């Protein structure tokens, strides 16, 4: 958002909840069925002796295997932290706000796209220009107009949340 777009604290909190919800949604496992490629067999479990030998070979070759394994383990741990029962409940609640209170389909798409872009750490202006370039048959998104839609959507959600006296955990 730009500095000229004024948001209340409640709207900023709603936006943070939507971004958190999108982070949680992104972290959830995607496929439920068999793998699209590769083996569907579970990973092979190495014995401690095999791991010792692999680590020694890796050290002599520069240590890349161990770094990759540690990086993969950190990603798995981070993904599990984002998929807790509480976060999934909060995600469902935040997405329900959009479903129940935002009736304009394009405003919904814009709000969800903005939350996804921010959750992934991408640049919003670049996302808009890429979207417009890739989908010339769709109505082009103009940055200022789209920002107004986002703020208006957050105002609508805030209004309904206040009316229903719904409190959200900080």
pLDDT of the chain along its 170 residues, tens only?
544 457 889 899 999 999 999 999 988 876 666 666 666 677 777 788 888 888 888 888 887 877 888 888 888 777 777 788 898 999 999 999 999 999 999 999 999 999 999 999 999 999 999 999 998 888 899 999 999 999 999 999 999 988 876 555 44
pLDDT of residue 2: 45
Angle at 135 between CA 133 and CA 140, to 5 degrees: 75
Same domain, 71 and 151: no
Residue 170 pLDDT: 43
Say if residue 73 is in the same domain as residue 154: no
Q: What is the number of structural domains in the chain?
A: 2
Tokens of 2: 């730009």
Assigned token pair, 55: 């680590």
Do 93 and 75 fall into the same domain?
no
- Please tell me the pTM assigned to this model: 0.70
Residues 97 and 152 both lie in one domain: yes
Looking at the structure, do residues 13 and 92 belong to the same domain, yes or no?
A: yes
- Position 79 scores a pLDDT of 75
The pLDDT, as a whole number, for residue 150 is: 95
The reply to whether 137 and 65 lie within a common domain is no
Q: In this structure, are 103 and 147 located in the same domain? A: yes
For residues 92 and 153, membership in a common domain is answered with yes
Pair 92, 21 in one domain? yes
Backbone region of residue 2 per phi and psi (left: phi > 0; alpha: psi in -120 to 50; beta: other values):
beta
Q: What is residue 66's predicted lDDT score, i.e. its pLDDT? A: 78
Nearest to 87 by CA among 31, 26, 161: 26
Reading the block at residue 117, the tokens are 């872009």
* Residues, the chain: 170
Instruction: Tell me: do 145 and 123 sit in the same domain.
Output: yes
Phi-psi category of 13—alpha, beta or left, where left has phi over 0 and alpha has psi -120 to 50? alpha
């Amino acid at each position: 958002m730009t500095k000229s777009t004024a948001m209340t604290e409640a709207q900023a909190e709603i936006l943070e909840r939507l971004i958190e919800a999108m982070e949680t949604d992104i972290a959830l496992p995607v496929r439920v069925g068999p793998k699209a490629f590769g083996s569907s067999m579970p990973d092979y479990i190495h014995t401690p002796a095999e791991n010792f030998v692999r680590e020694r070979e890796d050290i002599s070759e520069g240590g890349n295997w161990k770094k990759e394994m540690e990086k993969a383990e950190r990603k798995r741990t981070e993904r599990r932290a984002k998929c807790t029962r509480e976060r999934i409940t909060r995600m469902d609640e935040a997405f329900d706000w959009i479903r129940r209170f935002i009736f304009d389909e394009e405003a919904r798409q814009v709000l969800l796209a903005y939350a996804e872009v921010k959750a992934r750490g991408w640049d919003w202006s670049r996302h808009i220009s890429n979207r417009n370039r890739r989908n010339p048959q769709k109505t082009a998104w103009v940055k200022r107009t789209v920002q107004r839609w986002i703020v208006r959507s957050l105002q609508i959600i805030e209004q309904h949340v206040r009316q229903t006296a719904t409190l959200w955990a900080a």
